Amino acid sequence: MAEQGVAQIWRRIKSIYNIQGNKCETCKTYFFPPRPVCPTCRRKGKLVDYHFKGLGSIYSFAIVRQAPDDFKLEIPYVIAQVELDEGCRLTAQIVNVDPENVEIGMRVRACFRKIKEFGQSGVIMYGYKFEPTMKVTGHQK
């Protein structure tokens, strides 16, 4: 039996470390997390791995004030739906910004962070969070 969280994280490492999803070559739709079946094309679909650029904008967000133990130290934190430039959305924390300054439409880029710990003796989960883009990096649209 795997230690708490280990297998659950390990089998998804490609996706949660690198934002690796996939793309259906038939209908040109991007998916994150990767889908095993294209819901539009089904058996006619052709799915290939795709490494997302990690750039997008905030579609909607919440400032979490009550959270489970794994996230208590971070309260208040911003969780958002980020619309990636390729066209799909994911759910991630927004960091490196005062929660009061976050707004819908804000440009963000992925960064690699610790997400949570599975209890005191469990595995530590790392993965994507997002932060506001800076003018100097050319990530503004």
Partner 1 sequence: MPNIDVKSRVEDGGITMSNRVAIIGVGMCKFGELWDRSLRDITLEAGLYSIFDSGVRGADIDGLVIGNMSAGRFTGQEHLGAQAVDIGGLGDMPAYSVEAACASGGAAVRQAYMAIKSGEHDVMLVLGAEKMSDVNQTEAMNTISVASDWEWEGMFGATFPALYAFMARRHMKDYGTTEEQLAMPTVKNHKNAEHNEWAQFQRAVPIGVVMGSGLLADPLRVLHSAPVTDGAAGLVMCREDLAKKYTDTPVFIESSTQAGDTLALHDRKSITTMNAVVNSSRLALKEAGLELKDIDVLELHDSFSIGEIILTEDVGIAKKGEGGKALEEGITEIGGKFPVNTSGGLKARGHPVGATGVAQIVEIALQLRGDAEKRQVKGAEKGLAVNIGGTGATSIAHILGR
DSSP 34: P
Q: Does 41 bind partner 1 (CB under 8 A)?
A: no
Q: Does 77 bind partner 1 (CB under 8 A)?
A: yes
Q: What b/e string do you get for 76-97 counting C-beta neighbours within 10 Å, with b at 16 or more?
A: ebbbbebbbebebebebbbeee
60 vs 134 by CB, closer to partner 1: 60
Query: Smallest distance, Å, CB 88 to partner 1?
Result: 8
Q: Which residues contact 115 (CB under 8 A, 6 or more apart)?
A: 16, 93, 125, 126, 127, 129
Size (the chain), residues = 141
Query: Smallest distance, Å, CB 35 to partner 1?
Result: 9
Dihedral sign, Cα of residue 40, residue 17, residue 90, residue 53: negative
Q: Does 66 bind partner 1 (CB under 8 A)?
A: yes
Q: Does 116 bind partner 1 (CB under 8 A)?
A: yes
Q: What is the total count of residues that contact partner 1 (CB under 8 A)?
A: 32
CB neighbours of residue 66 within 10 Å: 8
Query: Smallest distance, Å, CB 138 to partner 1?
Result: 26
Query: Smallest distance, Å, CB 69 to partner 1?
Result: 6
Binding site residues, partner 1, CB under 8 A = 8, 12, 33, 59-71, 74, 77, 79-81, 88-93, 104, 115-116, 125, 127
